[in-house]
């Protein structure tokens, strides 16, 4: 494809994918111009299949015609390739290991169970919600002091300081208020999870997140539709 020549940056993703949104956040934070190619996951393009033949999933980033897949690896590639702008991973090896650890923890232990809360009801939903709160409590008690070691565990996030772990948390629970409204449940309680609550609100106040977030009413509609479709299949 002609558009994939030279130094152009092309992101194959979908509007709904939190994994695509992670990469968009990283590109925006680094002020990297890019072309977004909206994929139809029911009719994937040959370009996507060619460049991610193993998983056949979004996102895929093309830089100088070379493909990189898996959102966390793409973000590291972006951070190492474009040194200007905020550092998405700390230079210090120890702090970098902590950011990676907690980003991985959120991905492995929270993403699927949060989705289960959205997609289920009754006892199954109650069990999933309890697990979400338990995992968030671990972040509250153990994670924040390591993620924000420079500020004694107090969450501070700006466009200039946003890191990999902020990006991962953002694409999981930044619209937590919409989740709570649609589900009629409390997920992030400021009384029991004050640090996590402050962290999410700080993320939501950044310009880059505001720019990439759809209007609140649209988020509600997306969540309602997704939940309805999920319950209809069960």
Predicted local confidence at residue 6, as pLDDT: 56
Neighbours of 53 (CB within 10 A): 10
Classify strands 9-13 and 60-63 as parallel, antiparallel or unpaired. Answer: antiparallel
Dist. CA 11–CA 7, nearest whole Å: 13
Query: Which tokens hold the place of 79?
Result: 């951070």
The confidence score (pLDDT) of residue 20 equals 97
Give the integer Cα–Cα distance in Å for 45 and 10: 14
The beta strands (E) that lie in the chain are given as: 9-13, 35-38, 60-63, 66-69
CA distance 38 to 14: 5
Query: How does DSSP classify residue 34?
Result: -
What's the pLDDT score for residue 233? 86
Predicted local distance difference test score (pLDDT) of residue 5: 45
Which residues, including other chains, have CB under 8 Å from residue 136's CB and lie 6 or more apart? 110, 188, 193, 196
**Domains plus CATH for the chain?**
9-81 (3.40.30.10), 93-232 (1.20.1050.10)
Match 């939501």 to its residue by tokens. 204
pLDDT at 47: 93
User: CA angle, 129 as apex, 127 and 130 as ends, to 5°?
Assistant: 65
* Residue 189 contacts residue 197 (beta carbons within 8 Å): yes
How far is residue 2's CA from residue 182's CA, in Å, rounded to a whole number? 44
140 contacts 193 by C-beta, under 8 angstroms = yes
Q: What pLDDT score does 220 carry?
A: 97
Sheet holding 60-63, edge to edge: 35-38, 9-13, 60-63, 66-69
**Cα-only R_g, the chain:** 18
Structure-token match 């902020």, residue found: 166
Tokens coding 33:
């111009």
Per-residue pLDDT of the chain (234 residues), as tens digits, is 334 445 799 999 999 899 999 999 999 999 999 999 999 999 999 999 999 999 999 999 999 999 999 999 999 999 999 999 999 999 999 999 999 999 999 999 999 999 999 999 999 999 999 999 999 999 999 999 999 998 989 999 999 999 999 999 999 999 999 999 999 999 999 999 999 999 999 999 999 999 999 999 999 999 999 999 999 986
């Amino acid at each position: 494809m002609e558009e994939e020549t030279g130094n152009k940056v092309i992101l194959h993703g979908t509007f709904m994918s939190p994994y695509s949104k992670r990469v968009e956040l990283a590109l925006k934070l680094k002020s990297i111009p890019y072309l977004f190619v909206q994929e139809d996951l029911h009719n994937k393009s040959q370009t996507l299949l060619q460049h991610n033949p193993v998983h056949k999933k979004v996102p895929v980033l093309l830089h100088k015609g070379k493909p990189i897949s898996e959102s966390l690896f793409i973000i590291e590639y972006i951070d190492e390739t474009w040194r200007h702008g905020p550092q998405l991973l700390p230079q210090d090896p120890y702090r970098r290991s902590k950011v990676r650890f907690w980003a991985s923890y959120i991905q492995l232990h929270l993403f699927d169970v949060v989705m289960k809360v959205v997609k289920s009801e009754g006892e199954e939903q109650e069990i999933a919600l309890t697990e979400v709160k338990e995992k968030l409590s671990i972040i509250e008690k153990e994670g924040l002091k390591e993620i924000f070691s420079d500020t004694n565990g107090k969450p501070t996030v700006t466009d200039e300081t946003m890191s990999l772990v902020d990006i991962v948390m953002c694409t999981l629970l930044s619209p937590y208020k919409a989740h709570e409204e649609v589900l009629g449940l409390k997920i992030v309680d400021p009384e029991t999870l004050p640090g996590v609550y402050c962290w999410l609100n700080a993320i939501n106040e950044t310009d880059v997140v505001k720019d990439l977030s759809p209007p609140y009413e649209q988020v509600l509609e997306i969540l309602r539709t997704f939940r309805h479709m999920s319950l209809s299949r069960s």
